[in-house]
Amino acid sequence: MAEKKVVIVGGGVAGAILAKNIQNQANVTLIDPKEYFEIPWASLRGLVEPSFAERIVINHREYFKKGDLVVSSAANITETEVFTADGQQIAYDYLVIATGHTESIPKTRTERLDQYKGENAKIKSASSILIVGGGPTGVELAAEIAVDFPEKKVTIVHKGTRLLEYIGQKASSKTLKWLTSKKVDVKLEQSVDVRSSSEENTTYETSNGETVEADAHFLCIGKPLGSAWLGETLLKDDLDANGRIKVDENLRVKGRTNIFAIGDITDVEEIKQGVYASGHAQLVAKNLKLLIGGGKEPKLGTYKAQPPISIVSLGRKNAVAQFPFITVLGRLPGMIKSGDLFVGKTRKDLGLEPYDKKS
């Protein structure tokens, strides 16, 4: 019997873990516009410590050794094929969409590591730094800089009424207090046009008319969902108002038996973060193995939305954690996440050494 063809579109957390887990059960093709997988929740440590980036930027071929790797973007899909931007047509029996969010980053690992080194040089040479955005990315970057470079003046400008709006008020308040104790200036309910400065003029003006002096700035605002390409495909009516793919309890696109969606692209009502995307991938890996092996539909595994648990790292030793019944800031949640940022565990999940021997 011919080997079943599984096509995975997207090589982020969900797509990479799925590809690793099913490469021996099917003829798997992974389509991704870049040659590597990157551990997203650890990227901010890479900005203050470029050698750390060596462990978090992993060529797809290091963990995905058996299937086909297509370095391109998906452009269209039919009931039986995926069309790529570089003109390939790839047949599938099962399709998994894991395109998460779109981000303009380099194609090769070497270029990406060079980018980390460049951003690190920017931080080191600046005496004052502006961070635009007070979500988890902006907060974690501010904390990384404040801990590793306490002599630098760090300012966060955030348009929301509080930091970390995706989780509870307690976590926001504790985080604001911690950042203030590290001399980070937080300006809420304001925006800033970063184009208003130049190399000669390093003064930024906020929407409230306040001025911020900064030698460098980082944009830490939300990235767009990676679903725009689906708008002209057979799945155009399977997107909700936010552009997320509507899925059933088995993480299949609603009404379809052989197309799945996993990770941030889905309409599952839960906080969008890597640990849950990994859970999606593991469930769909089991479901695909069942279907490929001739298992019956009633035996498919089901996914339940996860409770709003989140840990935001605050430098190397501290973190703020929101659990269902308690919010904690300090060394205890820091021990869970902040030291290694789950990088060793993620590498092991991909079948790799926790520490990259080449770095």
Question: For residue 355, what pLDDT is reported?
Answer: 79
Question: For residue 288, what pLDDT is reported?
Answer: 98
Task: Name the amino acid, one letter, at 269.
Answer: E
Instruction: Provide the residue ranges of all domains of the chain, joining segments of one domain with +.
Output: 5-33+72-103+223-299, 109-222+309-350
Is 150 within 8 Å of 161 (Cβ atoms)?
A: no
Question: For residue 222, what pLDDT is reported?
Answer: 85
Question: For residue 193, what pLDDT is reported?
Answer: 87
Is 232 within 8 Å of 75 (Cβ atoms)?
A: no
Q: How many CA atoms lie within 13 A of 24 on its CB side?
A: 3
Per-residue pLDDT of the chain (359 residues; tens, 9 = 90+): 679 999 999 999 999 999 999 999 999 999 999 999 999 999 999 999 999 999 999 999 999 999 999 999 999 999 999 999 999 999 999 999 999 999 899 999 999 999 999 999 999 999 999 999 999 999 999 999 999 999 999 999 999 999 999 999 999 999 999 999 999 999 999 999 887 666 666 899 999 999 999 999 999 998 899 999 999 999 999 999 999 999 999 999 999 999 999 999 999 999 999 999 999 999 999 999 999 999 988 899 999 999 989 999 999 999 999 998 999 999 999 999 999 999 999 999 999 998 765 44
Query: Burial, 292: exposed, middle or buried (Cβ in 10 Å; 0-12, 13-18, 19+)?
Result: middle
Determine the CATH number of domain 109-222+309-350.
3.50.50.100
The secondary element (H helix, E strand) that includes residue 262 is none
Q: Would you give the DSSP letter of residue 306?
A: P
Question: For residue 359, what pLDDT is reported?
Answer: 42
- CB environment 166-199: b (16+ within 10 A), e (fewer): bbeeebbbbbbebbeebebbbbbebebeeeebee
Torsion region of 176: left, alpha or beta (phi above 0 gives left; psi -120 to 50 gives alpha)? alpha
Q: Hey, do 5-33+72-103+223-299 and 109-222+309-350 end up sharing a CATH topology, with the first three levels equal?
A: yes
- CATH architecture of the domain with range 5-33+72-103+223-299: 3-Layer(bba) Sandwich (3.50)
